[in-house]
Structure 1
Amino acid sequence: MKKAFVFVGTCLVTLLGLLTACTQSGGTSQEGGYKTMTVKKENRLLTNSYSAVVKGRQSVEIRPQVSGTITDICVKEGAKVQKGQVLFVIDQVPYQAALQTAVANVKSAEAAVATARLTSDSKEELFKEKVVSDFDRQTARNSLLEAEASLAQAKAAETNARNDLSYTVVRSPVNGVAGMSSYRVGALVNSSITTPLLTVSDDEEIYVYFSLTENQILSLVRQYGSVEKALAGMPKVSLLLSDGTTYAHEGTVDAISGTIDTETGAISLRAVFPNPEGMLRNGSTATLVLPYTKNDVLVVPQEATFEIQDKVYVYKVNADGKAESAQVTVFPLNNGQEYIVESGLQEGDVIVAEGAGLIQENTQILSVHTEK
C-alpha cells in the first residue's frame, strides 16, 4: 500500500513538470516577429479619381435686349438649335412705330440740311457782291453745320430703332441644346431680368473640370520640366458617370489654371471629351479617372511607410537584422495602397513590410514571412 502511494506521488510530480515545460515553451513562440519584403521593380498602372463638373463647350444664357411681352416661342425645350435660329419673338409693334418715326426724322433732317445749304450758298454769293455782311454769311454757315449735326443725330436714332426692332427677334448665338425656360407667351421681359429666357449649351465637345493640389502640380512640373510639357505628357483620361458606368470615350487634359484657389489650395484642370451621342449634359457631375503607367519602378506598400513632417520613411533591415530608418521619395500619385519609390531604396533591399509606424530604430527584426 505504501509503494502504491509513492508511485502515485511520483506520477503527480512528473505531470506537473511536463505542464510547466509546456507553458514555458508556448511563451517563447509568442515572441514578436515582423513581416518583411524584398524590394523589386514592377510595372504599375495607377488611377486617381477626382470629383468633376461637366460643362458644355459653350453655355450661353439667352437674355432679351429690349423690353416687351413675348408674342411667340419658336423652340422646344431640350431641342437642338442652330446658330441664328429664332428662339423668341417680343412684341414688335412699338419698335416698328419707333423705327417709322426715326425714318421720318431723318427725312426731315435731310430737308433741313438741303435748305440750310441753299441759304449758305446764297449768302456766299451775296457776300462776294457785298450785298450782305460777313456776319450774315457766317450765320448761314453755322445754320448749315447745325442742320448737318441734326441729320447725323437722326440717322443715329434710326440705327438704334432698327437695332431695337431686330432685338425683338431673339436668336441663338451658338449651335447647341436648349435648356428649360420659365417664360411663356405673354410674359413681360426686359434686359435686366435675373432668370434668362433660355440657356443654350454647345455640347459637341464637353469640358470636364477637376482639381489637383498645388503639391501635385509642382511635382508634375518638376517631372516634365514645364506646364506645357506636363500637359503634353498627360495620359488619356476616362469618366465615371453618376450611375457608375464608364463613359464610352476618353478625354484629353488640355488646360491647367494659372491661379490657385486661396480657400482650398487646389488648382483647376480641364479635360475635353467628345460627345457625339449627346450623353453628357451641361451642369452634370461625374468622376474623372486619371491613369499613370509606370514601368520598372520600385513599389512598396503604404503600410510599410511612416511620415515625419511630410517626409516619408521606411525601415530597412540591415546586415545585423535590425531596423534602420531610411527616407524615400515617392511618386505624387498612388493607388491608395502602394507607393512608387523614386529614390531612397534600391532593388534587393529588405524592408519591414507592415507596421512601420510601431517600430523603433535598431529594433531586432525577426521575419515571419519574406516576399521575393
Structure 2
Amino acid sequence: MLASLLFPGLALAQGVQVDAMTTEHAQFTPTQSYVAKLEAAEHAKLMTRISGYLMKQHFSDGAWVNEGDVLFEIDPVPYQQALAIAEANLEKAKAALARVELSHKRVKALQDNGGATQSNLDDSTAELTVSLANVAVAEAAANKARDDLSYTKIRAPYDGRLGRSNFSRGDMITPASGPITDIVKIHPITATFSVSHDEYQQQKAKHQGPVSFLLEETGQQGGLKFVDNKINPASGTIKVAAKFDNEDLALFPNQVVRVSLNNASSFDGVWIPQASVQQALTEQFVYVVNDGKAERRAIEVLERQGTNVFVSNGIEAGERVITAGLLRVRPDVPVVVSEE
C-alpha cells in the first residue's frame, strides 16, 4: 500500500485494485406512473319523496347493503289511510260510471225507438263522459297514494356502502330536508388522473390493443374506463380513468393512489449498480474489464430502481462491470478484480 502511494505509476503498471460484477441477462417492461384519485363508480344522495316521521333505520352507518334493501322507513299510517280513501273514491267513481252507462244505454234505446229526443241522448252522453273522467281521476289518485305509500320505505338503489345518517328516528323529514344519507358503489372503483396531450398521443400510438393499468398500492390490475372528450384549457391535460375491481372493498373514494400504465413492449438488457455509472458531459458510461484492462463503454440507462439501473445498450450479459475502485480507473489501465 505504501509503495502504491509513493509510486502511483508502479501501482498502475501492476493493476488498479477494483471490484466487479458479472452481468446477467434481464428483461424490463417500462411503466408510466401517475398520481390518481379514487372515485366511486356511483354515488347517490338518498332523499325522501314524501313528508313524515322517520320511524326505522335498518342499517348502521357505514354498513354494506345490497340493491333493494330497505334502509329507512317513514311512518306509513297517514299514507295507508290516504290510499284507503283513494281506493274507496275509485270504487265510488266506478259505481257511478256503471249507473251512468246503464242509463245511457236506456236513453239510446229510447232515442232509436223515438221515445227520447236527441237532446236527451246528448245529455246522457255528456254525463257518461264526465263519469269516465271521474274514474280516470280516481285511478290516478289511487296510483299516487299507492306510490306515496311505497315511498315510506327508502331502499338501496344498488350494492354499496352507506355513509353517515343525517337524521335520527323520530325526526320529521321532508323532501326539502336534504339527504338522509348517501351511498357509494365501490365495487368496482375508478381511479382518475390527468396526462398531457403529447403524452396521451405517444401512449395511444404505443398501445394499439387493450390498455391495462396496475394499482401500485395493492397490485390490482385494471382496465381503461374512459378518456375525457376535451382538454383542460388551463393545464393542457386530458382526464383519464382506470377501473379496478376492488373486490375486497379495501379502497375508498377520494383516496390518493399511484397508477401505472402497463407497457406492451419489453427491453433486453442488464441490471447494474448505479454507483458504477459515470457521467460525462454528453453521455453516461461504465468501465468493463476486458483482457485485464478497463474499457470505457457508453451506455443507455432506461430505468432506475433503488440503487440499481437497467442498461439497455452498451453492455452484454456475461461482461464484468467495475463497481468499486473507480477513482483511479482510466481507459486501458490494467485492473485487478478483488475476487481474483
TM range (shorter): 0.5 to 0.7
Report whether the alignment pairs 1:91 with 2:75: yes
Determine if contact 2:111/2:118 at 8 Å carries over to the other structure: yes
Report whether the alignment pairs 1:267 with 2:238: yes
- Structure 1 residues without counterparts, runs of 5 or longer: 1-41, 241-246, 306-313, 316-332, 341-345, 349-367
**TM-score (normalizing by structure 2):** 0.68
Q: Secondary structure at the match of 2:150?
A: helix
Partner Cα distance (1:217, 1:295) in 2:
21
Aligned amino acid, residue 261 of structure 2 = L
Aligned amino acid, residue 135 of structure 1 = S
Cα 1:199–1:254 change in 2 (3 A) is same
Cα 1:334–1:140 change in 2 (3 A) is farther
Cα 1:220–1:304 change in 2 (3 A) is farther
Q: CA deviation at 1:150?
A: 1.0
Report what 2:197 is aligned to: 214
Determine if contact 1:46/1:335 at 8 Å carries over to the other structure: no
Determine if contact 1:120/1:140 at 8 Å carries over to the other structure: yes
Aligned amino acid, residue 220 of structure 1 = Q
| The structure with more strand, counted as a fraction of residues | 2
State the 4+ residue runs in structure 1 displaced beyond 4 angstroms. 333-336
- Greater Rg, structure 1 or structure 2? 1
Report what 2:151 is aligned to: 167
Q: Secondary structure at the match of 1:119?
A: helix
- Provide Cα deviations, 1:209-245, integer angstroms capped at 9, x if missing partner: 22211111112223345xxx3xx1x3441233xxxxx
Q: Secondary structure at the match of 1:278?
A: coil
Report what 2:185 is aligned to: 202
- Provide Cα deviations, 1:43-98, integer angstroms capped at 9, x if missing partner: 64434332212123333322212122211111111112121111111122221121
Determine if contact 2:194/2:237 at 8 Å carries over to the other structure: yes
Identify which of 248, 251, 255 aligns with 1:277.
248
Aligned amino acid, residue 288 of structure 1 = V
Percent identity between the two aligned chains:
25
Q: Secondary structure at the match of 2:220?
A: coil
Partner Cα distance (2:268, 2:119) in 1:
98
Aligned amino acid, residue 104 of structure 1 = A
Report what 2:267 is aligned to: 295
Q: Secondary structure at the match of 2:175?
A: coil
- Provide Cα deviations, 1:253-309, integer angstroms capped at 9, x if missing partner: 322324123333222222222323221123322222334354159xxx9x989xxxx
Q: CA deviation at 1:132?
A: 1.6
Moved more, 260-269 or 171-180: 260-269
Aligned amino acid, residue 45 of structure 2 = E
Q: Secondary structure at the match of 1:251?
A: strand
Q: Secondary structure at the match of 1:160?
A: helix
Partner Cα distance (1:258, 1:80) in 2:
31
**TM-score (normalizing by structure 1):** 0.63
Aligned amino acid, residue 112 of structure 1 = A
Cα 1:166–1:120 change in 2 (3 A) is same
Determine if contact 1:256/1:267 at 8 Å carries over to the other structure: no
RMSD: 3.7
Q: Mapping of 1:1-372 within 5 angstroms?
A: 44-194=28-178, 196-224=179-207, 229=209, 232=210, 234-240=211-217, 247=218, 249-259=219-229, 260-292=231-263, 293-295=265-267
Moved more, 252-261 or 141-150: 252-261
- Number of residue pairs the alignment of both structures matches: 270
Q: Secondary structure at the match of 2:80?
A: helix
Q: Secondary structure at the match of 2:130?
A: helix
- Structure 2 residues without counterparts, runs of 5 or longer: 1-25, 270-276, 284-301, 316-329, 333-340
Partner Cα distance (1:289, 1:92) in 2:
52
